[in-house]
Amino acid sequence: MKLFLALLLSLAAVHVQANDADLRRAFEARFPGAKVVSVAKTPLPGVYEIVADGNQLAYVDEKAEFLLMGEIIDLNSRRNLTREKVDELTRIRFDSLPMQNAIKFVKGDGKRQLAVFSDVDCPFCKKLEPELAKLDNVTIYMFPYPIAGLHPEAGQRSKQIWCSKDRAQAWLDLMLKGKQPGKAADCKNPVDSNVELGQKLGISGTPTLVFANGKRVPGYIQADRIEALLKDSGK
């Protein structure tokens, strides 16, 4: 903390308005191969926000000689400005998702909406399923999203589930009971398309939850947290 404060004070003391183009060049020179998408001032004097390709977020001084690691929090409003920016950068247009490529679960009145990218062989995806089962009045769109590098058989199992007479039940049987799908993967299915979509969206791990307001949440979370996010999403 002392080093952080000292750096901020030194930046404030020598603060000169940075030129966006110069800062872009300086940052890209420091990190060969990086492509700066945007440069913006932060509320901290002399500290700038850099967004690089791949939605990479960094904070630097006006010459890109110092790199700040961590989050910026406005102590007056208690807002986490870094987290808000990350949410903005990773937001997914919910209505752009090809829901026809997902297994649909309707619970209660189904008014609220949630999309989940899930790998059938992912331990944390299986851990998430009992939490999803606790939800009510929600429509869940489950996108089979096998990550071949980690689970080489997940793609085949996902296709078998899709080709089952009752996809939703076949999914639950595998994820909650460990019952393997018996149907051959011989029907037209969207599994490979889901993988392409997820890669385009930058989904690198499972599970990944996408809420109706576009907020993306990677990893396992409990039902009460999902409920709060559903409420915040407004749908």
From first to last of the 235 residues of the chain, give the pLDDT tens digit: 444 444 444 444 444 456 889 999 999 999 999 999 999 999 999 999 999 988 889 999 999 999 998 999 999 999 999 989 988 888 999 999 999 999 999 999 999 999 999 999 999 999 999 999 999 999 999 999 999 999 999 999 999 999 999 999 999 999 999 999 987 888 999 999 999 999 999 999 999 999 999 999 999 999 999 999 999 887 5
Same domain, 27 and 122: no
* 13 burial level (CB within 10 Å; 0-12, 13-18, 19+): exposed
pLDDT at residue 179, as a whole number: 95
CA atoms within 13 A on the CB side of 86: 16
pLDDT at residue 87, as a whole number: 85
pTM over 0.85: no
pLDDT at residue 184, as a whole number: 80
Domain that holds residue 27: 2-90
What 8-state DSSP symbol labels residue 181?
Answer: P
Helix (H) or strand (E) run with residue 67 in it: strand 67-68
Same domain, 220 and 143: yes
Same domain, 86 and 193: no
Total domains, the chain:
2
